[in-house]
C-alpha cells in the first residue's frame, strides 16, 4: 500500500522554532519517522511539504491512481481552505487529517476544520505519533 503524507505551511520549521508547542524534532526527522511507521505497518510512505495552498491541491489531485490513501496535515490551511476540501472530495482517495497538537484546545479559530469535513478519520494531539496512528489506520484496513 502506498500512502502519501502531505504537510502544509511552516511545518518545514519543525524543531527550529516554537519547540514548546511542536517539539524539538525536525522536519527531516518527521520524514524518517513516517517512512519507518509505514514500513513497520507493511506500507510505503512518500512524504512531502509545501507552503503553498495550490501545491497541496495539485498533489491531492495527482494522487489519484498512484496512492491508496493520503495522510494530510494541512497546517493553517486546515482552518481556511475550501479549495483543499473540494480537492479531497473530488479525488475520492481516503484522507486522514493529522495534527501534532490538538487544535480544538487552542485558539477558537482552530476549531473549524475544512479538511475534517471530508476526512474519514482525524488523529491529533500526539506529536509525530498522530502520523503513525493515521498510517496504521490505513494499513490495518487496507486503505
Residues contributing to the site for ligand CA2 (CB under 6 A): 10-11, 13-14, 17-18, 22, 73, 75-76, 78, 99-101, 103, 110
Nearest-approach distance from CB 9 to ligand CA2, in angstroms? 7
Nearest-approach distance from CB 75 to ligand CA2, in angstroms? 4
Would residue 99 show up in a list of annotated catalytic residues for this protein? yes
Nearest-approach distance from CB 142 to ligand CA2, in angstroms? 26
Residue 48: name the closest of 76, 80, 71 by CA. Answer: 71
Instruction: Report the residue number, 13 or 83, with the smaller CB distance to ligand CA2.
Output: 13
Cell match 482552518: residue? Answer: 79
Residue 7: name the closest of 46, 50, 62 by CA. Answer: 50
Per the CB < 8 A criterion, the answer to whether 4 and 67 are in contact is: yes
Would residue 114 show up in a list of annotated catalytic residues for this protein? no
Instruction: Report the residue number, 1 or 55, with the smaller CB distance to ligand CA2.
Output: 55
Residues designated as active site: 22, 99
Amino acid at each position: 500500500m502506498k500512502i502519501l503524507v502531505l504537510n502544509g505551511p511552516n511545518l518545514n520549521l519543525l524543531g527550529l522554532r516554537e519547540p514548546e508547542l511542536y517539539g524539538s524534532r525536525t522536519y527531516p526527522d518527521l520524514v524518517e519517522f513516517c517512512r519507518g511507521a509505514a514500513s513497520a505497518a507493511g506500507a510505503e510512505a512518500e512524504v512531502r511539504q509545501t507552503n503553498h495552498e495550490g501545491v497541496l491541491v495539485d498533489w491531492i489531485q495527482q494522487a489519484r491512481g498512484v496512492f491508496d490513501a493520503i495522510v494530510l496535515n494541512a497546517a493553517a490551511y486546515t482552518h481556511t481552505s475550501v479549495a483543499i476540501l473540494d480537492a479531497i472530495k473530488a479525488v475520492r482517495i481516503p484522507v486522514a487529517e493529522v495534527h501534532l497538537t490538538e487544535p480544538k484546545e487552542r485558539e477558537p479559530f482552530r476549531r473549524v476544520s475544512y479538511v475534517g469535513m471530508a476526512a474519514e478519520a482525524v488523529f491529533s494531539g500526539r506529536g509525530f505519533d498522530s502520523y503513525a496512528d493515521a498510517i496504521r489506520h490505513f494499513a490495518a484496513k487496507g486503505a
